[in-house]
Amino acid sequence: MDNTKKTSYETSKLQNINLEICHDDIIENLKQDSEDFIKIFSIINLEKFKNLEEVELLFTHLTNQPTPIREAVALKLEEIYKDELYSAFIKEQLLKAIIDINPNVCRAICNIIFKSEFLKNNLLDDLIIRINNLLVEIKKQDRNLGGFYDDAQKIRKNHAKNKKLFSLYWYLEVLSICIKGKNNSQVLEIIKETIKFNDYTIREKTAKILININDSPIELLKIIQNDQNFYVKNLVYDRINFED
């Protein structure tokens, strides 16, 4: 089908959609195996949730869906989700969506968590577990291929490596949001590890976590202060005296 015919087809389809779609029709479209553009249209027009079942229905579309649907869901949740309606399923979907391959989804999820003290408190323990599991995988891969730490003799460009770095980057971003003001020994152990990564974006997220912890260890602050990357060291420039 050429572009002209495709556009004509999509236009005719859209003309059959009631632009004044009601709430019940939106929910029904999400329950059915509707075409992607109908689901996106429904998601965009969703204005509220009536119950937990409807919230979970939308969260179902946050994973294992085409990218446009996942992004539409994440942005809609950022707009209307309230954590009064919460469940173990919603927690699991949020944790999965943190490391979606689409950064727009990741950012929207971060914004949702940032606005909710409830989510920060309820996601922290599971987030720490996922980061630690990922670090175990990274250490194993680094022993075989290298590239994560200071090892110039081994492979640096690798799809599996980049995927793990992407996941770690967004996990650390959410950790920096959840940990604010808390001094958590498990988090300190994580940043002692991530502070050694040769990817500066991981060290930058590590620094962001560190400055969000009360009474941050001076030895870790000094490591960040002496980092070779400006964006990393700039995060702690006013945290300790350079003469200490």
For 59, the token pair is: 């969260």
Find out whether 142 and 164 touch, Cβ atoms under 8 Å.
no
The mean per-residue pLDDT over the stretch 211-220 comes to: 87
Residue 85 structure tokens: 């309606």
Q: Which band of pLDDT confidence, cut at 50, 70 and 90, is reported for residue 202?
A: very high
Question: What count of other Cβ atoms lies within 10 Å of the Cβ of residue 25?
Answer: 14
This prediction's pTM: 0.86
Q: Give the residue ranges of DSSP H helices in 115-178.
A: 117-145, 159-178
Q: For residues 135 and 164, what is the distance between their CA atoms, to the nearest angstrom?
A: 9
Confidence grade of residue 5 (pLDDT, cut at 50, 70, 90): very low
Q: Which of 111, 57, 117 is nearest to 87 (CA)?
A: 57
Q: Which residue bears the tokens 């950790």?
A: 175
Q: Percentage of the chain with pLDDT > 90?
A: 66
Average pLDDT over residues 173-184: 86
State the first-to-last Cα distance of the chain, in angstroms, to the nearest integer. Answer: 69
Q: Taking the CA atoms of 128, 129, 133 and 134 in sequence, report the sign of the dihedral they define.
A: negative
Average of per-residue pLDDT values in the chain:
87
For residue 119, pLDDT beyond 60: yes
- pLDDT tens-digit profile of 133-178? 999 999 988 887 777 876 555 555 677 888 999 999 999 999 999 9
Q: 220 vs 214, which has greater pLDDT?
A: 220
